[in-house]
Each structure stands twice: as C-alpha cells, then as structure tokens.
C-alpha cells in the first residue's frame, strides 16, 4: 500500500476515534475538526472537504446537502463518509 493511502487511512481512523462521541461531548468542535479537515465553501454553497494527512491534503470530497453553519450535521456527514471510504476503498470496518 502506498504512503498516501496509509496517511489517508490513519487520518480517517484518528478522526473517527476522536469524534466517537455525542456532539455535545466534543470539546471545541471547530478546533477539533480543523485538526483533520479544511472545509471551504463557494458561491453555490457547496462545501469542499480537504483531508489533512501526514502526506499533505487530499481534496476529492464535497458536501451538497448540508448548510455550512450546521456543524453537527457536517460532523455526522464526515463520520459516515469516512466510514464508507474506509470500508469500500480500503476494506476496513471502522
């Protein structure tokens, strides 16, 4: 497996481990989320997701159906998407 894939796997697993709790239990959710992701929005309200890893940032995801200011929904979306990436792309159950 390539270094980039391992970096993505580690970043997603660390994100899921840190956010494996109820939203209200996350200490400073914005700062915690910024450890793993850079989220950017455009004029069409599309949220572009950049995953931060030890090998750099990877940006191939976007969110269409969640408002940029709905942090709890964004975190839930990222958790579900991260589990799906690990399961379907890397055969890892998270």
Token pair of 60 as six digits: 């191939």
| Structural domain containing residue 20 | 3-90
One-character DSSP codes across 37-87: EEEEE-TT-PEEEEEEETTEEEEEEEESSS-TT-HHHHHHHHHHHHHHHHH
How many structural domains comprise the chain? 1
Instruction: Pick 43 or 70 by higher pLDDT.
Output: 70
47 alpha-carbon distance from chain centroid: 12
Q: Which of 85, 65, 70, 76 is nearest to 13 (CA)?
A: 85
pTM of the predicted model, to two decimals? 0.92
Q: pLDDT tens for residues 15-42?
A: 999 999 999 999 999 999 999 999 998 8
Residues 6+ apart with CB under 8 A from 46: 62, 63, 64
Q: pLDDT tens for residues 52-80?
A: 999 999 987 889 888 888 999 999 999 99
């Amino acid at each position: 497996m390539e270094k980039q894939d391992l970096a993505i796997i580690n970043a997603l697993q660390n994100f899921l481990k840190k956010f494996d709790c109820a939203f209200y239990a996350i200490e400073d959710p914005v700062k915690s989320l910024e450890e793993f992701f850079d989220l950017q929005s455009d004029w069409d309200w599309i949220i572009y997701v950049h995953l931060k890893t030890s090998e750099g940032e990877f940006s191939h995801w976007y969110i269409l159906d969640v408002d940029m200011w709905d942090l709890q929904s964004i975190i839930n979306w990222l958790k579900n998407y991260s589990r799906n990436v690990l399961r379907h792309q890397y055969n890892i159950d998270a």
